[in-house]
Structure 1
Amino acid sequence: MIKKSLTVFAAILLIVSCQNDKDSNETPEVVVNENPSTFKEIGTLTIGGTGAAEISAYDETSQKLFTVNNSSANKIDIIDLSDPSKPVLITSIDLVPYNGAANSVATFNGKLAVALESKSNKQEPGKVVVFETSNYALVKEITVGALPDMITYSQDGKFIMTANEGEPNDTYALDPDGSVSIIDVVSGYTVTTLNFASFSNQLDDLKTKGFKIASLTNNFAADIEPEYITVSADSKTAWVTLQENNGVAKIDLTTKKIMQIFPLGFKDYNLAENAIDISDKDATIAFNPWKLKGMFQPDAISNFEVNKIPYFVTANEGDAREYSAFVDVKRINNAAVVLDPIIFPNAAALKTDASMGRLNINTKMGDTDGDGDFDELVGFGARSFSIWNGLTGQLVFDSKNELDKKAFEFGLYDDARSDDKGAEPEAVCVTKMGDKQILFVGLERADAFMVYDVSNPMAPKHLQTIKTGDAPEGLLFIPASKSPTKRSLVVVSSEGDGTVKIFQPDLD
């Protein structure tokens, strides 16, 4: 428990990661004595079934919540949040006229930006549609890269950015470049879309450090799949997760150029501190070390600064590719997975369901000597959150197996996911509360989020575990300075059951 008065300021929003709650108007600092280890549910609203509550953004000017709803109709649900204990669904924005499917939303100073993939063919360019939050009038439509999966405003509101995943179609006949679009709001919404082709000459070096390029075509620019973006407080730098590729890209927003790709390497599950449960068919939950590596493959990303050093935090979810023309995942017990008999002399025993047999591994990695069998085993995701140096991309901290173990301690661990990604960290958001840096981590398969104090990036402290709706997809932090109640709020959108839940900490 933190026994100290907390000043809540700065706005940070997480939509499967964290964006900042941006507003160009200066908001007076609000001093509230809150304890970030005491968040409790104060309100809930069910807006539909599966897919009904994916990502949410809050508009301070109207005290409304804008939530992506793809359950039955393509729309943005609008929720009155003026009384967070009694959220009310008031209307929706119909997106059918815009010929796109919504993936993400962001707000800034009375404007709502929506990322839409092409409805007719998601390999075609997507678009960003901007609305007024007051009357939902259309402001602008802007063409961006293929399959914009996430959208955010820069801290100063001058830029809108989209992570354009550029997924292939099922046969790989169409495989657009993965890209990042930077929309210059102050210059009439002009757009610059960046791809990663210029880094193809670095492939060999990147691969030695754990970066993954593997597809039917092995086309570098097309194989890159940007997932999520976080923007620095000074709006000069962005970091973008390249989930399937196991990397993070760093972008200079002043020059609008991709500066670096950070390959994230591997996690060693043979260490006791990284022990995990890898079978859903062993009739127990047991965390053990295994001769196994894991790609970090982050989904969401957030950033913060301590002592003038920038850090980014990743939710290491993991993801495979499964198309009719290309599949990179199989269980170890599959007959096509042949283990090197020298490295794995007990291969037959390892392939049983009670051992490693049920685990999903990447089949395009691990044959280090090219003889057709697996010399090492590489899984998807790291079942953790990690903190990285924003300047160098070096790992500063990894939560090891703490997310799974704490989910188990709280009775929330789903053993049916042991063979895949465990508790499955999907979302991260760091915000300043008083003099503390507070991290929220959303766990899609544990139906929970956890709260950490990351003021010391090398030694985060777990504060709380909180139950949510089914499959939380979006986490949104609303600081006291912008909250309807002048108290900090965390809003969780859960796509499994279509619920939106609001949480508030106790006064200290």
Structure 2
Amino acid sequence: MLRIPTLCALFALAPLASALELQPLALYQSGFAAGTEIISVQPSTLRVIVSNSAEGLVDILQLDPAKGLNRIARHNLVAEGAGEITSAIFHPSEDIFAVCIRNSDGLKNGRVEFRAATDGTLLNTVEIGIWPDSLAFSPQGDFVVVANEGEGYMRDGEGFRSGEGSISLIDLRSGVATATHSLIKLPDLAGVEGATQVEHQRLLERMIEGEELKIPFGTGPEHIEPEYVTFSPDGARAFVSLQENNAIAVIDVQQGKLDKVFGLGTVRHAADIVDDGKYDPSAELFALREPDAIAVSADGRYLISADEGDTDPKIAKTKAGLPSGGGRTVSVFDAMSGELLGDTGSQLDDKAAEAGVYPDARSPNKGSEPEGVVSFDAFGKRLVVATLERADALALIDLDQPAQPQVLQVIGAGEAAGSGNLAPEGLAHVEQNGRHFLVTALEKSGNVALFELVK
């Protein structure tokens, strides 16, 4: 489980930090070899929930600044073959967590389960859309929004059929027991500036009936794939990343409807795109951003995206000038207008190389691969932390100048968790008494790492 003494001894030998940096604090070991994925912290209690999709369970941990992470409950929720947990999140203040579970039939509706965090008692089940992938409570806990990715595919004659992507809005204002659900359908994105269009000639890699295939990707509802949800600080709007569509859907929560969709455009910056055993950012990357996780700054002014990528061009990009999939960046947009303000360019990979964690084998395909992201204010600064899944690392970013976000540090998750394939994915931030903690789920190791931001 928790291993602190050796880490504490390491800290005692380390020099005092003179600038903002992330430092490893503790490690929780789940006992499973892999599967820890999505993570959420309840600020009022410092309880942490982490899902394990491979095992069909969630662990409830207690974050103690002096003792690290200890498991206080484990709830087995999904039997083998009965679906898959895709996300889990704590209610902001009550003894409740919610999980979204996709149906074992990828073309049927999924569900959200609301449960008591202490003993796992099922409080309510709400049927939602197809293939739910992410969910979030509003800051006040009165709504839940779910990104229904609709990712399941099946053969249909000579072609393929997919479920439609959608967004679920669950109204909890009368309590969990009487929750009501509405499904927000998404329009064809043809002509949406900055979003993926037919002329981009995209292919998706999907597993269909046990075979990995490349599927042509269009702009219609059956090809819209909502990925991740976050709220504005006032709870009035929910932002949903449409990863493969390179766009953001904005939901008017009170009205229960789609407000708008804005595209995210492309990046051009120096990059290493050759697997040759060394870091050489001498080429230019031209890519669609295609973000996974997104976050909103504490003041609500900025939307921040972790530009992981997921599609490939139908024709080799070097021959046809088509964009790659994945910006390898963290990007900043005006949260109201959707206007691009700036991005990190090549800094994530540059800093990963400096830290000795750049994954050169991934150079032809998404580099360090930013995936999770959180934004918060600390020590008088506006900050962002992102997980770099393929670099097995976290990046600390200064957002005081949104047009020029500065990567301050890349630290290997292995500094808290040991070496090996770690794949940090889910990420959460919590503050207590002026101390700032970052908790990340290490999908490929089955563990959870705790870091602290120090000055």
Q: TM-score, normalised by structure 2?
A: 0.83
Q: What corresponds to 2:314 in structure 1? A: 363
Mapped pair 1:193 → 2:183 = yes
Aligned mate of 2:287, from 266, 279, 294: 294
Query: 2:111 is aligned with what amino acid?
Result: K
Pair 1:45–1:209, CA change in 2 (3 A):
closer
Structure 1 vs Structure 2: percent identity of aligned residues?
30
Superposition deviation, residue 219 in structure 1 = 6.5
What is the CA-CA distance between 1:123 and the residue it aligns to?
1.9
Runs of 5+ consecutive residues of structure 1 not aligned to the other structure: 1-33, 269-273, 321-328, 330-361, 367-372
Q: Distance in 2 between matches of 1:235 and 1:97?
A: 34
2:171 corresponds, among 184, 200, 204, to 184
Structure 2 letter corresponding to 1:503: F
Q: Which residue of 2 aligns with 1:414?
A: 359
The one-letter code sitting in structure 1 at the alignment partner of 2:432 is A
**2:447 is matched with which residue?**
499
Q: Is the CA contact 1:146–1:178 (under 8 Å) kept in the aligned structure 2?
A: yes
User: CA, structure 1 residues 163+295, in 2 after alignment: closer, same or farther (shift >3 Å)?
Assistant: same
For the residues of structure 2 that align with 1:36 and 1:240, how far apart are their CA atoms? 34
Q: State whether structure 2 residue 270 is matched by structure 1 residue 275.
A: yes
Give 2:303's match in structure 1, choosing from 312, 319, 333.
Answer: 312
| Counterpart secondary structure, 1:428 | strand
Correspondence for 2:117: 133
Q: Relative to total residues, which structure has the larger strand share, 1 or 2?
A: 2
Give the Å deviation of 1:121: 0.7
1:56 to 20, 39, 53: 39
Matched, 1:439 2:384: yes
How far 1:283 sits from its partner (Å)?
Answer: 3.8
Within a 5 Å distance, the mapping from 1:256-405 to structure 2 comes to 256-268=256-268, 274-280=269-275, 282-290=276-284, 293-304=286-297, 310-320=301-311, 329=312, 362-363=313-314, 374-405=319-350
CA contact (8 A) 2:153 2:163 kept: no
Distance 1:245 1:364 in 2: 18
In the TM superposition, what is the alpha-carbon distance from 1:140 to its structure 2 partner? 0.9
Preserved contact between residue 194 and residue 265 of structure 2 (Cα < 8 Å): yes
Contact 2:347/2:407 (8 A) holds in 1: no
Rounded Cα–Cα distance in structure 2 between residues aligned with 1:180 and 1:150: 10
- Any idea what SS the aligned residue of 1:403 has? helix
User: In structure 2, do the counterparts of structure 1 residues 133 and 218 end up closer, same or farther at CA, with 3 Å as the change threshold?
Assistant: same
Q: Which runs of 5+ in 2 are unaligned?
A: 1-16, 203-214, 415-421
Superposition CA RMSD, Å = 2.4
Closer, same or farther in 2 for the Cα pair 1:241/1:487, shift >3 Å? same
CA contact (8 A) 2:355 2:411 kept: no
| 2:102 aligned residue | 117
Return the match for 1:46 from 29, 33, 58.
Answer: 29
CA distance in 1, matches of 2:257, 2:45: 35
1:177-236 alpha-carbon deviations (Å, 9 max, x no partner): 101111001132101111113xx2x61x22x63423566584611110000111101111
Larger radius of gyration: 1
- TM-score, length of structure 1 as denominator length: 0.75
1:113/1:36 CA distance change after superposition, 3 Å: farther
Q: Distance in 1 between matches of 2:316 and 2:142?
A: 41
CA separation of 1:460/1:245 partners in 2, compared to 1, >3 Å: closer, same or farther?
same
Q: Are the structure 2 counterparts of residues 185 and 68 from structure 1 closer, same or farther at C-alpha, using a change threshold of 3 Å?
A: same
In structure 2, what is the equivalent of residue 478 of structure 1?
Answer: 430
Higher relative CO (Cα under 8 Å, sequence separation at least 6) belongs to 1
Separation in structure 1 between the aligned mates of residue 328 and residue 267 of structure 2, nearest angstrom: 10
Please give the alpha-carbon distance, in whole angstroms, between the structure 1 residues aligned to 2:171 and 2:352: 42
Closer/same/farther in 2, CA of residues 47 and 297 from structure 1, 3 Å limit: same
Query: Alpha-carbon deviations, 1:332-365, whole Å to 9, x = none?
Result: xxxxxxxxxxxxxxxxxxxxxxxxxxxxxx1179
